């Protein structure tokens, strides 16, 4: 489960990175909490942080269930794909929100594959 634990830490690092970007955007654009409105660039940065938080449950629960029932390496591969997808999603969204599709599809596919992997692992046990 060492690889799954590493991917869990990597996912949390990705989330912390988006949180840091959101905090810096508040300072850069002078948008005080709890306000969420500001220039488009600020809104995009905030959406990336919120969307990443919203997608974490779809990663973390299936990640660990897949590790338990199918194996550490399979789960870690899914976790790595999710992390790559979320970073690509963020970088694209920061530049042009309409270009976020590839990263979104990769991270959601990773979650879906982890769910399928959990089901396969359960059936094999």
Q: Which fold has domain 2-124?
A: 1.20.120
- pTM for this prediction: 0.94
Domain boundaries, the chain: 2-124
The tens digit of pLDDT for each residue in 10-62 reads 999 999 999 999 999 999 999 999 999 999 999 999 999 999 999 999 999 99
Is the Cβ–Cβ distance between 115 and 47 less than 8 Å? no
Q: What confidence category does residue 85 fall into, taking pLDDT thresholds of 50, 70 and 90?
A: very high
Question: Encoding tokens for residue 52?
Answer: 């990443």
List CB contacts of 50: < 8 A, sequence separation 6 or more: none
Is the Cβ–Cβ distance between 46 and 31 less than 8 Å? no
């Amino acid at each position: 489960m060492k690889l799954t634990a590493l991917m869990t830490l990597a996912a949390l690092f990705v989330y912390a990175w988006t949180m840091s970007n959101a905090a810096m955007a508040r300072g850069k654009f002078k948008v005080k909490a709890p306000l969420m409105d500001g220039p488009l660039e600020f809104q995009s940065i905030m959406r990336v942080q919120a969307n990443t938080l919203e997608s974490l449950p779809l990663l973390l629960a299936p990640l660990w269930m897949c590790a338990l029932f199918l194996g550490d390496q399979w789960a870690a591969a899914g976790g790595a794909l999710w992390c790559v997808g979320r970073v690509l999603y963020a970088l694209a969204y920061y530049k042009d929100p309409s270009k976020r599709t590839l990263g979104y599809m990769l991270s959601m596919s990773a979650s879906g594959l982890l769910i399928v992997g959990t089901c396969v692992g359960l059936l094999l046990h």
